[in-house]
Amino acid sequence: MVLAVACANDDYACELVNKLGLTGFWARTVQFLLDKPLKILIVIIVAAILSRILGRLARRAVETMAGITPVRRASARADQRARTLAAVTGSVVRIVVWTTAGLTIFGVLGISLGPLIAGASIVGVALGFGAQALVRDFLSGFFILVEDQYGVGDSVNVGGAKGTVEEVTLRVTRMRADDGNVWFVPNGEIRKVANATMGWQRALIDILLPLDVDLDRALSAMTEECDAMRHDPAWAAEIVEGPQVLGVDAMSADGLTIRVTARTEPKRQDAFARSLRARIASRLRRDGIALAKPPATAATTTETSGTGADAE
Rounded average pLDDT over 265-278: 88
| Nearest residue to 151 (alpha-carbon basis) of 91, 72, 223, 227 | 72
> What is the per-residue pLDDT across 169-181, written as a single tens digit (0 to 9) for each?
878 888 898 788 8
Residue 4 has pLDDT above 90, yes or no: no
For residues 176-201, one letter each, b for 16 or more C-beta atoms within 10 angstroms of the residue's C-beta and e for the rest, the string is: eeeeeeebebbbbebeebebebbeeb
* Range in 29-43, 146-160, 253-267 with the lowest mean pLDDT: 29-43
> What is the per-residue pLDDT across 68-104, written as a single tens digit (0 to 9) for each?
444 444 455 656 566 667 777 777 788 888 888 888 8
Specify the pLDDT at position 280: 93
Specify the pLDDT at position 42: 84
Specify the pLDDT at position 52: 86
Residues 6 or more apart in contact with residue 189 via CB below 8 angstroms:
159
Q: State which H helix or E strand residue 235 sits in.
A: none
Specify the pLDDT at position 278: 93
Residue 302 has pLDDT above 50, yes or no: no
Give, rounded to a whole angstrom, the gap between the first and last alpha carbons of the chain.
155
Cα–Cα distance list, 160 to 164, 255, 270 (Å)? 13, 34, 21
> What is the per-residue pLDDT across 217-261, written as a single tens digit (0 to 9) for each?
999 999 999 999 988 888 888 888 889 999 999 888 888 999 999
Residue 154 has pLDDT above 60, yes or no: yes
Rounded average pLDDT over 271-292: 91
Specify the pLDDT at position 220: 93
Residue 121 has pLDDT above 80, yes or no: no
Q: What is the mean pLDDT of the chain?
A: 76
Residues 6 or more apart in contact with residue 284 via CB below 8 angstroms:
207, 218, 221, 222, 290, 291
Reported pTM: 0.50
Which domains occur in the chain, in start order? 12-111 (no CATH), 148-195 (2.30.30.60), 201-286 (3.30.70.100)
Specify the pLDDT at position 305: 38
